[in-house]
Every structure is written in structure tokens, then in C-alpha cells.
Chain A
């Protein structure tokens, strides 16, 4: 195995060894959201024509889980290695910053997709779903997980303690996902908040992913994909630059 493949394998093994916490827990949380929201709002909310609310909710929950867990993987792995000091073993190895970047981000994608598949698998017992455009769904899941993996990597590089990662997660990632249309279509919002939603990159990931299921979305999927791809490219460029400079990891 190459150095890159080993680092990727290590990062995957790291979350897989504690899969109850990193995969099963988030799947159960998403299931609870579905049961509670569907029970409370099921009959009263109208979204797309002919789509029951529970069916509308599932892709949103899947994508929310993908995004949150991709972020959690790279950010928590990096901050743990920095705080405990074992990042030194990776820094001593003949790995380039691009290999370092790719291994952390791809492991985050694997964790995000593993949780996403888990959420989809358990919710399918409650809701009948079909994938109208599976390739769109896959593209948004992959790029969305990669984007959050890169964001987690940036947070992990910047943070010096666990508290700062928690702040990043609670004050940025969580509000942006919750307000991105997981639980509602933005067309049900007042015009001002519809406008505001368009500045939230998470909205495009959720909306595009949902298009993969229903063939309908608030924004054209190609436009959403462009927003996600450009955001991913910009954040990746920043992360690669910081890694090459040894920002907060090589003194």
C-alpha cells in the first residue's frame, strides 16, 4: 500500500472501530427525527405536488446526516491527533500535503456515505421512495460529503482545542444544515427568507440531493451542482495551501 492508501485506511478504520458512536448513533438520530416530525406534521404540510411529507423529509435527513458526519470525521480525527500529539507519526512520514488532504477528505466521504446509506436503509421501512435520478443523488452526496470533509479539515487545522471544534459544529454546521430546507421546502418561507436561503451553500446540497429522488427541486440541479462544486474547489484550494504551509501543524 502507498502512504496515502495507508492513511486513508487508518482514517476509515479509526471511525469503524467505534461504529456504534460514528455510524449507528447518527442513523438512530435521523430515524427519531423522521418518526417525530412525520407524526407531528405529517398530514398538515404540503411540499411538492403529490409528495407526502415523510417522503419529502427522508432525502433531507439522509443528506443532513451525510454532511454532519463527514464534517465530524475529519475535524475530530485531526483535533484528536493534534491534542494527543500522535499527528507526529503522519508528519514524520514521506507524505505530501495533497496525499494528507485526500486521505482525510476521502475518509470523511466514506463515513458520510456510510451513515447516509444507513439512514436510507432504516427509513425505507417507513416510507416508500424511488430514485428518479440516482446519478444526481450520488453526485450531490459525494460532493457534499467532500465539501464538509474539507470544512472539517480546515476546522481541525485551525482549532487548538475540542471546544473550538464544538463551536464550529454548533454555531456554523448545525444552523446551516437545519436552515437549509431539510425539514421544509423554501417555497413555504416568506420571500425574504427564501432569498436568505440562497446564500446558504447547504441549501443547494440538500435541494440537489432531493432532486435525485423526486425529479423536482426548488433550484435547477445543474445550478446547485455548480454552487457545490465551486465551493468545494475554493475550500480545497485553501486547505491545500494551509497544509503546504504547515499551518498550525509544522512550527
Chain B
């Protein structure tokens, strides 16, 4: 995939495949192209060259199927101030053509500890609560592939732990998870495989174990050591 924004080369020929059922990490400094890549997968941006498919569905030619297969948690804390939490989730279900989805909506709200806030207006929620609603919105249509773009940015410890518990459960149930994060210990703990991007290029793509083993030194390396080493090298 290639993508330019004016003179900026956001993606300079990125090619990768995420396996079905995998917990995959997409790491890189700010401006590396992580969000651009996610936006192209989600249909929010269009690649200048190359193609993307979600479980075989081309995101341009078969956009309806591709979008049904995909649940995206956007990085920005966005919400519609006109609606309550429940209305927000019911509307999002409806956009995907799902009627009578309340049982699943209740279950998602339960797992994300949102039940008590179901009838609260979105404006009245704290930042952490709004983040939970974003996750719930991405899951209303039970997508087999879940993309989380920095889901724990600005989130307290309690929610982080609850969120990872829930996402790990979804992954165990067979959902493919793609994660971007700046918290490298989270990626190290959860991701089976990791791609590292810098200036629109993949500089590393391997299992988390192999990446950790690639850096020889007096002490066992953690992902932060590997990340810094690779970013300086490229």
C-alpha cells in the first residue's frame, strides 16, 4: 500500500498479512503511518496504490462486506452529544442493518461496565466512560476483526485492565485483534506478532518472542529496548 498527503509520504509501500485469530500489534512513533494504515483498512482513507482485503473482502470493491467484518475503535474521543449511551449503540447497530440487537448491546455494556450509564447522555460521561462507549460501538455488529487505535490513551489503570480482559476474551473466542499503542508493555503482553513502522515503512515484522530474542545483551531485552534499537537503526 502507498499513500501520500501532499508532499508527505504517509505509507511508502507497506505490505503485510494479519492471520485470522491473531492478536497483532502495529507499533511506531507518531507520524509513522499507523493510523493511516488503519484508516485505509476501515475505508476512512483511500490508498494511492495497492489493495486491502478484510477476510477476503476488498475494502473498495466489496466495502459493505468488508465493513461488516470490521470493528474499529477510533483514536480520537469522538461522540454524538445528542444521544444517550443506549441510543448511540442502538443507532450504530442500525447502521449495520441489525434490528432487535438489545440482548447483545446489554451484554457488551455489561462487560464494559456501562450498564449503570445506559441512559446517561454522552456529554455527561467522563473521558474513560466515553472510551468504553467507543469500544462498545465497534462491537455492536459482532465483527470478527477488531481494530483498536490507541485504545488506552489517557485511560486509568482500572479501565485498562478491564478493557484488556475483555479484548483478550474476544481474541480467545476467535476474533482477530489489531492494536496500535504507545504503551509497549501492553503490546509485549498481548500481541503474538508485531509490525514496527517508521516513516511509512515496515522496519520489523515478527513474533513478539523473536523480536525480544533479536536483541542480544547482558540483560534480557524488553520490547522498549527492541523498539528503540530498531528506530535508531533505520
Determine, out of B25-33, B38-46, B203-211, the stretch whose residues face the partner at the interface. Answer: B38-46
- The reply to whether B94 and A5 contact each other, CB–CB distance below 8 Å, is yes
Q: Does B164 lie at the interface of the complex (its beta carbon under 8 Å from any beta carbon of A)?
A: no
Instruction: Report the bound CA distance from A12 to B64 in whole Å.
Output: 24
- The reply to whether B94 and A85 contact each other, CB–CB distance below 8 Å, is no
What would 13 more interface pairs be, CB under 8 Å, given A1-B97, A251-B5? A1-B99, A6-B91, A7-B95, A10-B94, A13-B82, A17-B82, A85-B78, A88-B78, A89-B92, A91-B44, A92-B72, A94-B63, A251-B44
Chain A residues near B (Cβ < 8 Å): 1-3, 5-7, 9-10, 13-14, 17-18, 81, 84-86, 88-96, 246, 250-251
Residue of A nearest to B95 (CB): A93
Q: Does B76 lie at the interface of the complex (its beta carbon under 8 Å from any beta carbon of A)?
A: yes
Chain B residues near A (Cβ < 8 Å): 5, 39, 42-46, 63-65, 67-68, 70, 72, 74, 76, 78-83, 87, 91-97, 99, 137
Partner of A92, one of B42, B87, B99: B42
Which residues of chain A are within 8 angstroms of B70 by Cβ–Cβ distance? 92
- The reply to whether B44 and A93 contact each other, CB–CB distance below 8 Å, is no
Which residues of chain A are within 8 angstroms of B63 by Cβ–Cβ distance? 94
Residue of A nearest to B40 (CB): A251
Which residues of chain A are within 8 angstroms of B87 by Cβ–Cβ distance? 13
- The reply to whether A251 and B91 contact each other, CB–CB distance below 8 Å, is no
Residues A89 and B67 in contact in the complex (CB < 8 Å), given A3-B96, A7-B95, A251-B45:
no
Residues A94 and B96 in contact in the complex (CB < 8 Å), given A17-B82, A250-B46, A251-B5:
yes
Which residues of chain A are within 8 angstroms of B5 by Cβ–Cβ distance? 251
- The reply to whether A3 and B95 contact each other, CB–CB distance below 8 Å, is yes
Residues A6 and B76 in contact in the complex (CB < 8 Å), given A91-B43, A91-B44, A251-B39:
no
- Those 3 A-B pairs whose CB atoms lie nearest each other, nearest first: A6-B94, A93-B95, A85-B78
A–B Cβ pairs within 8 angstroms, 16 of them: A1-B94, A6-B94, A9-B91, A10-B91, A10-B94, A14-B82, A84-B78, A84-B80, A89-B92, A91-B44, A92-B70, A94-B67, A94-B95, A95-B95, A250-B46, A251-B5
Residue of B nearest to A10 (CB): B91
Which residues of chain B are within 8 angstroms of A13 by Cβ–Cβ distance? 82-83, 87
